[in-house]
Amino acid sequence: MKCSKRKYCHICGETLIKGAIIFLMLQITVIFTYLYLTVNSTKVFKDGNYYKLFQNVPLSNETKIECLGEAKTQSDTAVGFQLKVNRDAALIYGHFRKTKSFLTIGIPTMQRPGISYLEKTLESLIMFTSDQERLEIVIALYMADGNQTWVNYTANDLQKKYQKYFDSGFLHIFHYHEQTFPDFNSLSRTFNDATERVTWRSKQNIDYAYMFMYSQNISEYYIQLEDDIQAIPNYFNKIKSFISTTNKKRVKWFCLDFCSLGFVGKLVRNDELLVLAKFLLMFYNDQPGDNLLGYLKHIKTQFKDIRHKPSLFQHVGVISSLRGKRQFLQKWYIEKEIF
């Protein structure tokens, strides 16, 4: 009886030792495989109809993000929407500078029923910057409307009025080139929003992502504005000063906030633009853009807003590009902070 017990224990011991050896070998294999991929690989592939990115792409206007497939049905939206950006083809007026600027100001614009705030927005941003400061800034104006007649008319009109700013690289106008959008009619409704609103905010997320991809490597920092805001005097120096002060404090941050409304005034580093674009495309149908930005901020371990007070940009538009929508958050939030 004793002998059988000893034999059983001996067998169990051998089994445990063999299992430990196999586990150790598997761990070593995983570690060496990881080191090989991270050190020696020159390409990064993300399967499942996501993206294919190349790390050795030159930092120029030829940078492209190629898509592996296109979302055409509702089931495809489970893995997001794939986007292709060709900056040379997208650029209508302006040119790319040979060196990085300090700040890109991204502004999407669309038709609004019976009114436009765009020129007042541009005048505000231009008026409160000096000639020297404009050498550090690029305003990337994205014509996000699908009406090509309106896009051409508006772009040509702005080019005549602001030609010197296009010539200096201070101002860009761009529009998507042969971009195929998903079937918005097949999107699922969230937040109990009407179909029209779901379509509007879903396309808005894709437009944001397109802007981020276009703006990659143009400047060190990127700030998102809208086409119906007014800047306060000396806004650019205040932005530079706030970035410098925050960096000196060695605070880990993903996004700095220069306006308390929605997606307006949100600033990120150039290196985060592609990450933000991917995230919006992955969940473009599920949440509004400002919600997704908040979630990504937490994922990036920034759990508190880092906000400049007072706000540097005031929202003035009432009539939205979404039919029937009115936005009355205009003066109260900036006046409350100032006074």
Mean pLDDT of the region 88-114:
93
Name the percent of the chain lying above pLDDT 70: 71
More confident residue, 225 or 44: 225
For the cut 60, the answer to whether the pLDDT of residue 268 exceeds it is yes
Whole-number average pLDDT of the chain: 79
One-letter amino acid at 288 equals: P
Look up the pTM and report it: 0.74
> Domain 87-338 has what CATH class?
alpha beta
Of 14-28, 146-160, 205-219, 304-318, where does mean pLDDT reach its minimum?
14-28
pLDDT tens-digit readout, 104-151: 999 999 988 778 889 999 999 999 999 999 999 999 999 999 899 999
DSSP class of residue 264 equals: T
Between the CA of residue 251 and those of 100, 241, 255, 306, what are the distances in Å? Answer: 24, 15, 11, 10
Flag whether pLDDT at 322 surpasses 70: no
- pLDDT over 60 (residue 97): yes
* Long-range contact set of residues 315-319: C-beta below 8 Å, sequence gap at least 24: 315/226, 315/228, 315/229, 315/259, 315/261, 315/264, 316/117, 316/120, 316/228, 316/229, 316/230, 317/112, 317/117, 317/226, 317/227, 317/228, 317/229, 319/112, 319/113, 319/114, 319/115
Q: Which range among 50-59, 132-141, 308-317 shows the weakest confidence by mean pLDDT? A: 50-59
Tell me the C-alpha distance between 56 and 40, whole Å.
13
DSSP, collapsed to helix, strand or coil, labels residue 172 as strand
Give the largest Cα separation in the chain, rounded. 102
Encoding tokens for residue 6?
Answer: 């000893």
Distance in angstroms (rounded) separating the CA atoms of residues 34 and 156: 52
Q: Domain ranges for the chain, please list them.
A: 1-40, 87-338
Residues 6+ apart with CB under 8 A from 130: none
Mean pLDDT across 182-194: 73
Over residues 192-219, mean pLDDT: 88
Please give the structure tokens belonging to residue 39. 């050190």
- Quick: pLDDT tens for 217-254: 999 999 999 999 999 999 999 999 999 999 999 889 99
What does the block give as tokens for 144?
A: 């996000």
| The pLDDT value given to residue 80 | 62
Q: Determine the pLDDT at residue 11.
A: 66
